[in-house]
């Protein structure tokens, strides 16, 4: 059967007026919230040369990137599948912000080559915020606070998940794992394959302290405060790096617990985004049972090294299109609408502009149209236009 020419490709869809208005309403709330916290908006192009688009930590996005040949230069270009590397390029190459802290936010559509129905559209609306130029846990705390404030702006009740990829990285280093063993362990942990993990650990030659940690690592998850106490006993003594990583998590938990009434879940074997994250990682989940993270992020230091300026960074992003179904509908019950005749009249035009300046919607009505019953309209009376 021949497919209709007006069908969109699988995973790419239109947003009709009600949904589009809803998306724009919440997009504006998010961006305004970022602005009030000191984040400047940047808008990278939707396509770039793949030399820069898929550089450094963005190489893992190659399989998701739609590519084509630029007819102007003959070089290969790609449509962005993630905006974060673009923002890193802007900071490193355009702003050259090596000696100051930069707070940037962004919003735009991205495109992925593959359709994953479980993860939503192939063209997410990505909204995010990043802090560049600060390496301490204070900036991680700030970005998580901004993420939680953004959830509040979206009227969403959430729970927070925390992790630290540096802990697993340091444990692999202390155990002397080869690159092949490390890759296998990362794959096992990403899949949460506990039986495979137990077999893998049983084949390692570890001292007693490391053996104890590796044995319980997948089970060091749950309520943040109880898990952090176990980590301070088992993991912190292994090295200064382990102690520092655990302290960062403890600082984060203490600060957030004082400010936000949010349940915090800690998973020390979570290595989501291991390819590019270098420290604390975080995500928020809806309390209504939606399984995928609403927003997620983490630290990714040295992000701009391939652009000639290695700087520490932390940030988060969310797919606003995928979140729409979780968000309260936008109502226009308080909005005022006025109908005006479609006539060429300077006096009428002045009256319409006056109403619009007061945020009143004015809709033109043609001669063969009827105005909805009970609606306000502009009529001409003694040469003047008035509202009735």
Which residues are 280's β-sheet partners? 164
Sheet of strand 376-381, all strands in order from the earlier edge strand to the far edge? 361-365, 337-341, 376-381, 384-387
Token pair 């690159």: residue: 179
Residues of 42-53 as b/e, b for ≥16 C-beta within 10 angstroms? bebeebbebebb
Name 339's Cβ contacts closer than 8 Å, sequence gap at least 6: 362, 363, 364, 365, 371, 372, 375, 376, 377, 378
> For residue 136, what is the DSSP state?
S
| Three-class SS state of 211 | helix
Q: State residue 306's pLDDT score.
A: 64
Residue 272 near residue 285, CB atoms below 8 Å: no
Q: State residue 267's pLDDT score.
A: 96
Q: State residue 115's pLDDT score.
A: 79
How far is Cα 128 from Cα 105, in angstroms, rounded to an integer? 6
Q: State residue 8's pLDDT score.
A: 82
Compute the residue count for the chain: 388
Is the whole model's pTM more than 0.85, yes or no?
Answer: yes
Q: State residue 1's pLDDT score.
A: 47
How far is Cα 311 from Cα 128, in angstroms, rounded to an integer? 18
pLDDT along the chain (388 residues), means of 10: 69 90 95 96 94 78 91 94 89 77 95 76 93 93 97 94 95 94 94 94 92 94 95 95 96 94 95 85 90 92 68 94 90 80 90 92 89 89 87
If phi over 0 gives left and psi between -120 and 50 gives alpha, with beta otherwise, what is residue 190? alpha
How far is Cα 83 from Cα 201, in angstroms, rounded to an integer? 38
Name 386's Cβ contacts closer than 8 Å, sequence gap at least 6: 378, 379
């Amino acid at each position: 059967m021949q497919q209709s020419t007006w069908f969109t490709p699988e995973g790419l869809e239109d947003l009709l007026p009600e949904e589009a208005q809803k998306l724009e309403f919440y997009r504006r709330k998010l961006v305004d919230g970022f602005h009030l916290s000191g984040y400047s908006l940047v808008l990278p192009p939707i396509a770039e040369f793949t030399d820069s688009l898929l550089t450094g930590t963005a190489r893992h996005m190659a399989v998701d990137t739609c590519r084509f040949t630029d007819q102007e230069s003959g070089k290969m270009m790609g449509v962005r599948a993630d905006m974060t590397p673009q923002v890193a390029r802007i900071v490193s190459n355009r702003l050259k912000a090596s000696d100051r802290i930069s707070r940037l936010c962004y919003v735009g559509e991205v495109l992925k080559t593959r359709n994953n129905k479980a993860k939503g559209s192939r063209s997410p609306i990505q909204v995010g915020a990043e802090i560049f130029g600060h390496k301490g846990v204070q900036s991680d705390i700030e970005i998580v606070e901004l993420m939680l404030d953004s959830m509040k702006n979206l009227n969403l009740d959430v729970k927070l998940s925390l992790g630290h990829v540096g802990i697993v990285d340091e444990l692999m280093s202390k155990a002397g794992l080869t690159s092949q063993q490390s890759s296998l362990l990362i794959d096992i942990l990403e899949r949460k394959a506990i039986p495979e993990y137990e077999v893998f650990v049983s084949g390692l030659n570890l001292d007693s302290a490391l053996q104890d940690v590796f044995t319980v690592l997948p089970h060091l998850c749950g309520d943040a405060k109880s898990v952090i106490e176990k980590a301070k006993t088992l993991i912190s003594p292994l090295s200064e790096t382990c102690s520092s990583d655990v302290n960062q998590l403890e600082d984060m938990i203490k600060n957030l617990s004082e400010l936000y009434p949010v349940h915090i879940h800690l998973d020390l074997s979570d290595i989501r985004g291991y390819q590019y994250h270098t420290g604390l990682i975080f995500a928020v989940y809806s309390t209504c049972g939606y399984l995928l993270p609403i927003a997620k992020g983490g630290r990714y230091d040295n992000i701009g090294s391939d652009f000639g300026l290695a700087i520490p960074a932390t940030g988060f992003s969310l797919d606003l299109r995928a979140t729409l179904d979780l968000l309260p509908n936008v109502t226009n019950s308080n909005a005022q609408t006025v109908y005006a005749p479609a006539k060429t009249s300077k006096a009428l035009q002045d009256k319409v502009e006056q109403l619009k300046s007061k945020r009143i919607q004015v809709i033109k009505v043609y001669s063969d149209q009827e105005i909805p019953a009970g609606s306000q309209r502009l009529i001409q009376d003694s040469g003047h236009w008035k509202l009735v």
